[in-house]
Amino acid sequence: MPALARYALALGDDALVLSHRFGEWVSRAPQLEEDVALANIGLDLLGQGRSLLTYAGEVEGQGRDEDALAYLREERDYLSCHLVELENGDFAFTIARMLVFSTYQHALYSALSSSTDPMLAAVAAKAVKEVDYHRDHATEWTLRLGDGTDESHHRMQAAVDEVRKYADELFDTAWIPVELLESGAAVDVSALHDGCRRSWESVLECATLSLPEVVPAVGGGRRGVHDVRMGYLLAEMQHLHRSHPGASW
Protein backbone atom coordinates (compact mmCIF):
# COMPACT_ATOMS: atom_id res chain seq x y z
CA MET A 1 0.00 0.00 0.00
CA PRO A 2 1.38 3.45 -0.92
CA ALA A 3 2.71 5.53 1.97
CA LEU A 4 0.04 8.21 1.54
CA ALA A 5 -2.76 5.63 1.57
CA ARG A 6 -1.35 4.04 4.69
CA TYR A 7 -1.17 7.40 6.42
CA ALA A 8 -4.74 8.33 5.54
CA LEU A 9 -5.86 4.86 6.60
CA ALA A 10 -4.28 5.15 10.05
CA LEU A 11 -5.92 8.51 10.72
CA GLY A 12 -9.21 7.19 9.36
CA ASP A 13 -9.00 4.05 11.50
CA ASP A 14 -8.58 6.16 14.64
CA ALA A 15 -11.75 8.08 13.81
CA LEU A 16 -13.71 4.99 12.73
CA VAL A 17 -12.87 2.87 15.76
CA LEU A 18 -13.56 5.65 18.25
CA SER A 19 -16.85 6.44 16.49
CA HIS A 20 -17.85 2.84 17.15
CA ARG A 21 -17.07 3.27 20.84
CA PHE A 22 -19.22 6.39 20.99
CA GLY A 23 -21.97 4.49 19.20
CA GLU A 24 -21.93 1.95 22.01
CA TRP A 25 -23.14 4.69 24.37
CA VAL A 26 -26.41 5.12 22.49
CA SER A 27 -29.30 4.30 24.83
CA ARG A 28 -26.84 3.91 27.74
CA ALA A 29 -25.74 7.48 28.48
CA PRO A 30 -26.60 9.01 31.87
CA GLN A 31 -29.17 11.32 30.24
CA LEU A 32 -31.10 11.46 27.00
CA GLU A 33 -29.41 14.78 26.24
CA GLU A 34 -25.96 13.26 26.74
CA ASP A 35 -26.99 10.27 24.66
CA VAL A 36 -27.59 12.56 21.71
CA ALA A 37 -24.37 14.48 22.34
CA LEU A 38 -22.24 11.34 22.36
CA ALA A 39 -23.99 10.02 19.26
CA ASN A 40 -23.35 13.33 17.47
CA ILE A 41 -19.69 13.19 18.37
CA GLY A 42 -19.52 9.61 17.15
CA LEU A 43 -21.14 10.62 13.87
CA ASP A 44 -18.63 13.45 13.41
CA LEU A 45 -15.84 10.91 13.79
CA LEU A 46 -17.57 8.47 11.46
CA GLY A 47 -17.72 11.19 8.81
CA GLN A 48 -14.00 11.86 9.21
CA GLY A 49 -13.30 8.13 9.03
CA ARG A 50 -15.35 7.76 5.86
CA SER A 51 -13.54 10.60 4.08
CA LEU A 52 -10.11 9.30 5.07
CA LEU A 53 -10.85 5.66 4.23
CA THR A 54 -12.34 6.62 0.88
CA TYR A 55 -9.24 8.65 0.11
CA ALA A 56 -6.95 5.82 1.23
CA GLY A 57 -8.79 3.50 -1.14
CA GLU A 58 -8.46 5.94 -4.04
CA VAL A 59 -4.74 6.44 -3.47
CA GLU A 60 -4.23 2.71 -3.18
CA GLY A 61 -5.92 2.23 -6.55
CA GLN A 62 -6.98 -1.38 -5.96
CA GLY A 63 -10.68 -0.63 -6.18
CA ARG A 64 -11.36 -0.77 -2.43
CA ASP A 65 -13.99 1.70 -1.26
CA GLU A 66 -14.76 2.86 2.28
CA ASP A 67 -16.94 -0.19 2.98
CA ALA A 68 -14.30 -2.64 1.78
CA LEU A 69 -11.74 -0.99 4.02
CA ALA A 70 -14.00 -0.69 7.05
CA TYR A 71 -15.72 -4.07 6.90
CA LEU A 72 -13.45 -6.45 5.05
CA ARG A 73 -10.06 -5.89 6.64
CA GLU A 74 -8.69 -8.19 9.31
CA GLU A 75 -7.58 -6.96 12.70
CA ARG A 76 -3.89 -6.96 11.75
CA ASP A 77 -4.64 -4.60 8.87
CA TYR A 78 -6.13 -1.97 11.17
CA LEU A 79 -3.71 0.84 12.00
CA SER A 80 -5.61 2.56 14.81
CA CYS A 81 -3.90 3.49 18.06
CA HIS A 82 -4.73 1.61 21.23
CA LEU A 83 -6.37 4.58 22.96
CA VAL A 84 -9.41 4.50 20.68
CA GLU A 85 -9.86 0.75 21.05
CA LEU A 86 -10.19 0.76 24.83
CA GLU A 87 -13.61 -0.19 26.12
CA ASN A 88 -15.83 2.67 27.19
CA GLY A 89 -15.64 1.90 30.89
CA ASP A 90 -17.62 4.31 33.01
CA PHE A 91 -18.71 7.77 31.92
CA ALA A 92 -15.60 9.33 33.46
CA PHE A 93 -13.36 7.12 31.35
CA THR A 94 -15.20 8.06 28.18
CA ILE A 95 -14.83 11.74 29.07
CA ALA A 96 -11.14 11.42 29.94
CA ARG A 97 -10.43 9.66 26.66
CA MET A 98 -12.44 12.28 24.76
CA LEU A 99 -10.44 15.07 26.41
CA VAL A 100 -7.07 13.51 25.59
CA PHE A 101 -7.96 12.39 22.09
CA SER A 102 -9.90 15.45 20.94
CA THR A 103 -7.09 17.73 22.13
CA TYR A 104 -4.67 15.64 20.07
CA GLN A 105 -7.02 15.57 17.07
CA HIS A 106 -7.52 19.32 17.25
CA ALA A 107 -3.76 19.92 17.14
CA LEU A 108 -3.36 17.30 14.41
CA TYR A 109 -6.11 18.61 12.14
CA SER A 110 -5.06 22.23 12.70
CA ALA A 111 -1.61 21.35 11.37
CA LEU A 112 -2.92 18.99 8.70
CA SER A 113 -5.21 21.66 7.27
CA SER A 114 -2.08 23.22 5.74
CA SER A 115 -0.85 19.87 4.41
CA THR A 116 0.68 19.90 0.94
CA ASP A 117 -1.80 17.15 0.07
CA PRO A 118 -4.97 19.03 -0.90
CA MET A 119 -7.36 16.21 0.05
CA LEU A 120 -5.91 15.71 3.53
CA ALA A 121 -5.91 19.49 3.99
CA ALA A 122 -9.59 19.71 3.03
CA VAL A 123 -10.68 16.86 5.30
CA ALA A 124 -8.72 18.36 8.19
CA ALA A 125 -10.07 21.87 7.67
CA LYS A 126 -13.63 20.57 7.95
CA ALA A 127 -12.89 18.26 10.87
CA VAL A 128 -11.06 20.79 13.01
CA LYS A 129 -14.30 22.60 13.90
CA GLU A 130 -15.95 19.30 14.81
CA VAL A 131 -13.19 18.18 17.15
CA ASP A 132 -13.06 21.66 18.67
CA TYR A 133 -16.59 20.97 19.89
CA HIS A 134 -15.62 17.50 21.13
CA ARG A 135 -12.83 19.11 23.13
CA ASP A 136 -15.22 21.65 24.55
CA HIS A 137 -17.72 18.96 25.54
CA ALA A 138 -15.01 16.88 27.21
CA THR A 139 -13.64 19.95 28.97
CA GLU A 140 -17.01 20.96 30.43
CA TRP A 141 -17.61 17.45 31.75
CA THR A 142 -14.09 17.10 33.11
CA LEU A 143 -14.58 20.30 35.10
CA ARG A 144 -17.89 19.12 36.52
CA LEU A 145 -16.80 15.58 37.34
CA GLY A 146 -13.35 16.50 38.66
CA ASP A 147 -14.65 19.35 40.80
CA GLY A 148 -17.91 17.61 41.64
CA THR A 149 -18.51 15.05 44.38
CA ASP A 150 -15.89 12.85 46.04
CA GLU A 151 -17.15 9.94 43.95
CA SER A 152 -16.98 11.79 40.63
CA HIS A 153 -13.56 13.26 41.48
CA HIS A 154 -12.20 9.84 42.36
CA ARG A 155 -13.56 8.22 39.21
CA MET A 156 -12.38 11.04 36.98
CA GLN A 157 -8.83 10.93 38.37
CA ALA A 158 -8.76 7.14 37.99
CA ALA A 159 -9.87 7.55 34.37
CA VAL A 160 -7.20 10.17 33.63
CA ASP A 161 -4.55 7.90 35.18
CA GLU A 162 -5.58 5.04 32.90
CA VAL A 163 -5.98 7.08 29.71
CA ARG A 164 -2.60 8.74 30.27
CA LYS A 165 -0.85 5.41 29.69
CA TYR A 166 -2.11 5.31 26.13
CA ALA A 167 -1.48 8.94 25.18
CA ASP A 168 2.17 8.62 24.11
CA GLU A 169 1.29 6.45 21.12
CA LEU A 170 -0.57 9.42 19.61
CA PHE A 171 2.67 11.38 19.30
CA ASP A 172 4.80 8.59 17.90
CA THR A 173 6.25 9.60 14.52
CA ALA A 174 8.24 6.45 13.85
CA TRP A 175 5.50 4.84 11.76
CA ILE A 176 4.92 7.86 9.50
CA PRO A 177 6.77 7.48 6.18
CA VAL A 178 9.68 9.92 6.03
CA GLU A 179 8.82 11.07 2.51
CA LEU A 180 5.40 12.28 3.72
CA LEU A 181 6.98 14.27 6.54
CA GLU A 182 9.54 15.78 4.17
CA SER A 183 6.98 16.67 1.54
CA GLY A 184 4.75 18.29 4.15
CA ALA A 185 1.82 15.95 3.43
CA ALA A 186 1.89 14.42 6.92
CA VAL A 187 2.14 16.10 10.32
CA ASP A 188 5.09 15.56 12.63
CA VAL A 189 2.93 14.68 15.61
CA SER A 190 5.86 14.56 18.04
CA ALA A 191 5.97 18.36 17.78
CA LEU A 192 2.37 18.56 18.99
CA HIS A 193 2.94 16.77 22.29
CA ASP A 194 3.99 19.68 24.49
CA GLY A 195 1.10 21.88 23.39
CA CYS A 196 -1.40 19.07 24.01
CA ARG A 197 0.09 18.36 27.39
CA ARG A 198 -0.22 22.00 28.43
CA SER A 199 -3.82 22.00 27.24
CA TRP A 200 -4.68 18.84 29.22
CA GLU A 201 -2.96 20.15 32.31
CA SER A 202 -4.77 23.48 32.26
CA VAL A 203 -8.16 21.72 32.09
CA LEU A 204 -7.22 19.15 34.71
CA GLU A 205 -5.90 21.80 37.07
CA CYS A 206 -9.17 23.73 36.90
CA ALA A 207 -10.95 20.44 37.56
CA THR A 208 -8.80 19.79 40.69
CA LEU A 209 -7.25 16.82 38.88
CA SER A 210 -3.69 16.06 37.87
CA LEU A 211 -1.88 14.46 34.97
CA PRO A 212 0.13 11.59 36.44
CA GLU A 213 3.56 10.36 35.39
CA VAL A 214 2.98 6.80 34.22
CA VAL A 215 4.76 4.01 32.43
CA PRO A 216 3.37 4.19 28.89
CA ALA A 217 1.46 1.23 27.49
CA VAL A 218 3.31 -0.83 24.90
CA GLY A 219 1.35 0.36 21.88
CA GLY A 220 1.81 -1.14 18.43
CA GLY A 221 -1.48 -0.14 16.85
CA ARG A 222 0.25 1.56 13.93
CA ARG A 223 1.89 -1.79 13.12
CA GLY A 224 -1.42 -3.60 13.28
CA VAL A 225 -0.78 -5.10 16.71
CA HIS A 226 -3.92 -4.72 18.79
CA ASP A 227 -5.29 -5.76 22.13
CA VAL A 228 -7.77 -8.63 22.43
CA ARG A 229 -10.63 -6.13 22.81
CA MET A 230 -10.14 -4.98 19.22
CA GLY A 231 -11.32 -8.37 17.93
CA TYR A 232 -14.65 -8.02 19.72
CA LEU A 233 -15.08 -4.50 18.42
CA LEU A 234 -14.45 -5.53 14.82
CA ALA A 235 -16.70 -8.56 15.14
CA GLU A 236 -19.60 -6.34 16.12
CA MET A 237 -18.78 -3.64 13.59
CA GLN A 238 -18.24 -5.99 10.65
CA HIS A 239 -20.64 -8.86 11.16
CA LEU A 240 -23.62 -7.33 9.36
CA HIS A 241 -21.69 -6.46 6.23
CA ARG A 242 -19.96 -9.83 6.21
CA SER A 243 -23.22 -11.73 6.74
CA HIS A 244 -25.02 -9.73 4.06
CA PRO A 245 -22.39 -8.53 1.57
CA GLY A 246 -23.40 -5.29 -0.09
CA ALA A 247 -26.31 -4.71 2.26
CA SER A 248 -27.63 -1.16 2.04
CA TRP A 249 -30.69 0.85 2.90
Partner 1 sequence: MTPTDDQDRPEVRAEGGHGAVPIEGVPTHAPRRTRDWPLWEVFVRGKRGLSHTHAGSLHAPDATMALRNARDLYTRRSEGVSIWVVPAAQVTASSPDEKDAFFDPAADKAYRHPTFYDIPDEVQHL
In Å, how far are 5, 97, 102, 189 from 107, measured between CA atoms? 21, 16, 8, 9
Among 2, 26, 28, 36, binds partner 1 (CB under 8 A): 36
Judged by CB under 8 A, which stretch of 27-35, 64-72, 80-88, 107-115 contacts partner 1? 27-35
Q: Which is nearer to partner 1, 27 or 31 (CB)?
A: 31
Among 1, 23, 34, 211, binds partner 1 (CB under 8 A): 34
Amino acid found at 202 = S
Judged by CB under 8 A, which stretch of 137-145, 174-182, 191-199, 223-231 contacts partner 1? 137-145
Task: Tell me how far apart the alpha carbons of residues 25 and 128 are, in angstroms, rounded to a whole number.
Answer: 23
Among 27, 32, 213, 248, binds partner 1 (CB under 8 A): 32
Q: Does 152 bind partner 1 (CB under 8 A)?
A: no
**Minimal distance in Å, beta carbon 130 to partner 1?**
12
Judged by CB under 8 A, which stretch of 20-28, 35-43, 114-122, 165-173 contacts partner 1? 35-43
Q: Does 144 bind partner 1 (CB under 8 A)?
A: yes
Q: Does 136 bind partner 1 (CB under 8 A)?
A: yes
Handedness of CA 157, 204, 131, 186 (dihedral sign): negative
Q: Does 126 bind partner 1 (CB under 8 A)?
A: no
Cα-atom radius of gyration of the chain, to the nearest Å?
18
Burial 121-146 (b: 16+ CB within 10 A, else e): bebbeebbebbeebbebbbebbbebb
Q: Exposed, middle or buried, 179 (CB in 10 Å: 0-12/13-18/19+)?
A: exposed
Q: Does 174 bind partner 1 (CB under 8 A)?
A: no
Q: Does 40 bind partner 1 (CB under 8 A)?
A: yes
Task: Tell me how far apart the alpha carbons of residues 109 and 131 are, in angstroms, rounded to a whole number.
Answer: 9
In Å, how far are 85, 92, 131, 234 from 70, measured between CA atoms? 15, 28, 21, 9
Q: Does 26 bind partner 1 (CB under 8 A)?
A: no
Q: Does 137 bind partner 1 (CB under 8 A)?
A: yes
Q: Quote the crossing angle between the two packed helices 91-112 and 118-146, to the nearest 10°.
A: 150
**Minimal distance in Å, beta carbon 144 to partner 1?**
7
Task: Tell me how far apart the alpha carbons of residues 47 and 118 are, in angstroms, rounded to a whole number.
Answer: 18
Among 65, 74, 77, 140, binds partner 1 (CB under 8 A): 140
> Interface with partner 1 by CB under 8 A: which residues?
30-34, 36-37, 40, 136-137, 140, 144
